[in-house]
């Protein structure tokens, strides 16, 4: 199969060395990198989001980095549209798209597609929300079970947002949400796709995370968050790890040591959630990186599998 029909994914938890391996891999194949990171899309945050340096961005073309300002919302639908277009254009240039990042949701929608459904119906949502206020979550959840048991089986009884959306889709389309979702279409099956997951022993990964957080503060994280905080941050930008933690310090809620510890803890928790998501996808082929392993050895193993 020719190179233009290939797509390579490098995924895994934060701080596991995805970028290092992707950059070394890029020295051996004609490629451009598509960021699969939910936060590197924001222009104003470089340190908090561990964005590639300007030198690296000049050397290897990257996509889906510095796409929007922190005052804008950025969702999975927008990511999918931009990423698919980037992958198509990379293939047009006879190169291999190298999708690199830690967002399991973004990877999944790229591979399997996304069901966008009908646009929001605010009046209908108000009616359904009022029913929850009047009768409780269980009342609306039971309604969903009657019209779409399959969707209800995947939604927690207290997840009001998803319950309302599933009912909204059914009422607008007159078809179950779960049935419509099956019609989605992604990249999987259209290209020769390799998905490599990177992991480390948990203790080692957490030590790397802790060191990275310390380095972020040394590199000027506090000043970066000060500048960013002058803007009205979108709900998605507020999820950048470091924003809330540093803001708490700047607001005098706790000292610098506490801000660092909170950021380390939240980053470690995020890494754990990332691994949980990726491990559920059986298409991922895993590499456990030991401290003694060189980046070159991992890259050599990947090259053997894709050539």
Domain ranges of the chain: 3-114+185-306, 122-181
Structure-model confidence comparison of residues 1 and 87, the more confident one:
87
Listed in sequence order, the residues at least 6 apart from 148 whose beta carbon sits closer than 8 Å to its beta carbon are: 166, 170, 176, 177, 178, 179
Q: Write down the pTM of the prediction.
A: 0.84
Average pLDDT over residues 102-108: 95
Give per-residue burial for 33-72: e unless 16+ CB within 10 Å, then b. Answer: bbbbbbbbbbebbbbbbbbbeeeeeeeeebbbbbbbbbee
Mean pLDDT of the chain: 93
pLDDT in tens, 216-258: 999 999 999 999 999 999 999 999 999 999 999 999 999 999 9
Structure-model confidence comparison of residues 155 and 242, the more confident one:
242
pLDDT at 3 over 70: no
CA 2 to chain CA centroid, Å, is 29
CATH homologous superfamily, domain 3-114+185-306: P-loop containing nucleotide triphosphate hydrolases (3.40.50.300)
Average pLDDT over residues 66-85: 95
Collapsed DSSP state (helix, strand, coil) of residue 70: coil
Poorest-pLDDT segment among 67-81, 169-183, 243-257: 169-183
Query: Among residues of the chain, what percentage have pLDDT more than 70?
Result: 98
Cα–Cα dist 39/48, whole Å: 9
Strand pairing partners for 161? Answer: none
Poorest-pLDDT segment among 25-39, 51-65, 69-83, 289-303: 289-303
Contact (CB, 8 A) for 64 and 52: no
Cα–Cα dist 189/186, whole Å: 8
CATH architecture of 122-181: Orthogonal Bundle (1.10)
**pLDDT computed for residue 1 by the predictor:** 41
**pLDDT computed for residue 156 by the predictor:** 87
Give per-residue burial for 87-97: e unless 16+ CB within 10 Å, then b. Answer: beebbeeebbb
Q: DSSP letter string over 256-280?
A: HHHHHHHHHHHHHHHHHHHHHHHHT
- Give, rounded to a whole angstrom, the gap between the first and last alpha carbons of the chain: 10
Query: Among residues of the chain, what percentage have pLDDT more than 90?
Result: 84
Average pLDDT over residues 27-42: 96
pLDDT at 142 over 80: yes
pLDDT at 115 over 80: no
């Amino acid at each position: 199969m020719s190179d233009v029909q290939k797509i390579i994914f490098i995924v895994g938890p934060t701080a596991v060395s995805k970028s290092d391996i992707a950059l070394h891999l890029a020295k051996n194949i004609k490629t451009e990198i598509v960021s699969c990171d939910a936060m590197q899309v924001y222009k104003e945050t470089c340190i908090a989001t561990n964005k590639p340096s300007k030198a690296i961005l000049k050397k290897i073309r990257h996509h889906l980095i510095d796409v929007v300002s922190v005052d804008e919302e950025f969702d999975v639908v927008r990511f999918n549209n931009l990423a698919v277009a980037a992958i198509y254009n990379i293939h047009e240039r006879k190169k291999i798209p190298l999708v690199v990042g830690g967002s399991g949701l973004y990877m999944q929608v790229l591979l399997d597609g996304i069901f966008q459904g009908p646009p929001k119906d605010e009046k209908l949502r108000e009616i359904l929300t009022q029913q929850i206020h009047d009768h409780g979550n269980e009342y609306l959840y039971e309604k969903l079970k009657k019209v779409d048991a399959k969707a209800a089986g995947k939604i927690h009884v207290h997840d009001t947002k998803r319950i309302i959306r599933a009912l909204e889709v059914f009422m607008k389309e007159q078809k179950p949400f779960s049935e419509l979702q099956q019609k989605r279409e992604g990249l999987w099956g259209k290209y020769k796709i390799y998905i490599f997951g990177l992991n480390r022993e948990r203790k080692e990964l957490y030590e790397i995370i802790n060191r990275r957080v310390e380095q972020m503060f040394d590199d000027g994280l506090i000043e970066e968050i000060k500048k960013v905080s002058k803007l009205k941050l979108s709900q998605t930008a507020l999820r950048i790890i470091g924003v809330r933690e540093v803001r708490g310090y700047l607001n005098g809620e706790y000292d610098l040591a506490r801000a660092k510890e909170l950021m380390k803890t939240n980053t470690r928790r995020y890494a754990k959630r990332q691994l949980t998501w990726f491990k559920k996808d059986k298409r991922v082929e895993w590499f456990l990186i030991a401290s003694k392993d060189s980046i070159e050895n991992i890259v050599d193993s990947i090259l053997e599998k894709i050539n």
